[in-house]
Amino acid sequence: MSRSKANTEYRQTIRALSDRLVEAQTPIRVLDAIKWDDNIRQGFLKARGQKLPAVDRAYYQSRPLSFDADEKKQQFQQIERDITRQLGQFSPVGQIMRRMCKEYRMVIRMLEARGTADFGLISQELYGSASDAFHAGDPTLADLGVMFSTYLDNIADRSDLKDEPKTLTASEAVALLQGQLNGVFGDEAVVRVFESDGILADAAAGADYIKIRADALFNPRDIRALAVHEGLVHVGTTLNGQNQPVCTFLAKGPPSSTITQEGLAILMEVIAFASYPTRLRKLTNRTRAIHMAEEGADFLQIFDFYREQGYSAEDGYSNTIRVFRGSTPDGLPFTKDLSYLKGFILIYNYIQLAVRKGRLEQIPLLFCGKATLEDMRTLRQLVDEGLVVPPKYLPPQFSDLNALSAWMCFSNFLNHLSLDRVEADYANIL
């Protein structure tokens, strides 16, 4: 067999296995499987937040999954075995796909455990815990949440940092956001923006669309943040994944890619100057709320925490439900919302090191699809082999690395300074 023919068959084998993996995960919709019905919200608010929501194991059992869990786990097991048989134990692309198969089986086990303690434990395996440290001896995510809250408290009363009023309706936000995304993606990739009644967050991204909650209000800064967070990152990486000719699995992401995705999205908000203290407070509160629940706080205690932060009863409920969806009102939390701050720190550190070591070509690969940090070296190899194509759609901050590299060079140096010593030296001038 000629080398060219063997290479063609190799690529076809990878593509076929990748397509099977994408097809197998299609019916798995985590957030749909763990959401609470609106009657739960109505009952909680009617009781004025004084009674735990009526959600238990039986509640979830009355809402069966949209797939047969045993059959789906066997399907991923079979794909994993075929990957090893057809690509070998040490194939780099095979190792990525096998890990994805294992993750999806774990996701299914988590969904089977809705309403039990195992749900929260498996969630911690997939997304992490607020008590996790970034490195030995470093602060935990919970420490980071408290630290950020302290910084935000120090600037909370400044009149020049007050949020712009939210006067834009959902329909106005749709028009503005659509215009911004058309300017980024052009006519080649049609990214639709439309209103939706069925989402918990203000906005949610799909493969080629962004949904805006119909009853939400926005300000211009919100639109800029949505453009970079949902548009340039979430939609952009999906389109780049769909553009892969061989490794089609990059269009879909397991939980491990969620951390990378949300970290990239928050980093983009920061470097595009689209973030703001209230936004950071929201992310910080999510981390703190999860930590409280891991320490034993129930739904009512987390709800009270949000009310003390100035949230209305409606918004307090909406934020608290994010912690306990899939679980019970007094159970372990769903820890997906740790992905934002956790991902930001991990991505920031990765880019810092890439600049320090002179490996700038690694940075844009973060956008080649729903990638994970642990796969970045392998993805570089797959690009060199022609099995993965570089990202077509890149934010300006990552398509021209000049400014990002300069920033990270300064950042690398500043990390070596003692902030305590600097604070002492500056005491007389600040």
HSE-CB at 104 with a 13 A cutoff on CA atoms is 31
Ramachandran sector of residue 191 (left: φ over 0; alpha: ψ -120 to 50; beta: rest): beta
Q: Residues near 246 by Cβ (< 8 Å), separated by ≥ 6?
A: 11, 14, 15, 18, 387, 388
- Spans of the chain below 70 pLDDT: 1-3, 160, 187-189, 417-419, 422
**For residue 189, what pLDDT is reported?**
58
Show the tokens assigned to 218.
Answer: 């926005």
Show the tokens assigned to 54.
Answer: 């009526």
3 state DSSP class of 193:
strand
Q: What is the DSSP letter of 230?
A: I
Of 101, 404, 128, whose CA–CA distance to 258 is shortest?
Answer: 128
**For residue 288, what pLDDT is reported?**
95
State pTM to two decimals.
0.90
Task: Please write the tens of the pLDDT for every residue from 234-293.
Answer: 999 999 999 999 999 999 988 889 999 999 999 999 998 888 888 889 999 999 999 999
Q: Based on the number of CB atoms within 10 Å of its own CB, is 371 exposed (0-12), middle (13-18) or buried (19 or more)?
A: buried
**For residue 191, what pLDDT is reported?**
87
Question: Position of tokens 């794909």?
Answer: 79
3 state DSSP class of 218:
strand
**For residue 136, what pLDDT is reported?**
75
Show the tokens assigned to 422.
Answer: 């600097």
Round to whole Å and give the CA distance between 123 and 116: 12
Q: Are 306 and 275 in contact (CB under 8 A)?
A: no
Q: Are 228 and 272 in contact (CB under 8 A)?
A: yes
Kind of pairing between the strands at 203-205 and 209-213: antiparallel
Question: Position of tokens 């004025």?
Answer: 48
**For residue 265, what pLDDT is reported?**
95
**For residue 188, what pLDDT is reported?**
62
Show the tokens assigned to 386.
Answer: 């022609």
Between CA 244 and CA 249, with CA 248 as vertex, the angle to 5 degrees is 135
Ramachandran sector of residue 196 (left: φ over 0; alpha: ψ -120 to 50; beta: rest): beta
| Domain map (residue ranges) of the chain | 130-152+162-274+338-429
**For residue 419, what pLDDT is reported?**
67
Round to whole Å and give the CA distance between 96 and 187: 33
Round to whole Å and give the CA distance between 321 and 327: 10
